[in-house]
Amino acid sequence: MNITWNYDAPSGDEKSIEVTFTCDTPSFSHVRGVNAVFDSSDNYDADATEVRVSEVANGVKHKISLGVITPPAE
């Protein structure tokens, strides 16, 4: 099972991002909000946000393997 993700940088006063996590087996997407990372000057930190999103992806993968997150019902 592989998990990939996609998101856009926050804009304006947003402090979180909407991330789409895509699982290959079973094939489905899961969307959730993730807090973006900002430095001490309140500038968006893209590298640190990517690390945070990858950590959340590990949790999403684990929850899929346990059956906590499942494909949406059709």
DSSP string, 11-62: -TT--EEEEEEEEETTEEEEEEEEE--B-TTS-B-HHHHHHHHHHHHHHHHH
- The pLDDT score that the predictor gives to residue 67 is 95
Locate the domains of the chain by residue range: 3-66
User: Quick one: pLDDT at residue 7?
Assistant: 98
The pLDDT tens digits for 11-69 are: 999 999 999 999 999 999 999 999 999 999 999 999 999 999 999 999 999 999 999 99
pLDDT of residue 74: 74
Angle at 7 between CA 2 and CA 13, to 5 degrees: 150
**Whole-structure pTM value:** 0.93
Tell me what pLDDT residue 73 has.
84
Q: Residue 72: pLDDT above 90?
A: no
Euclidean distance between CA atoms 43 and 40, whole angstroms: 7
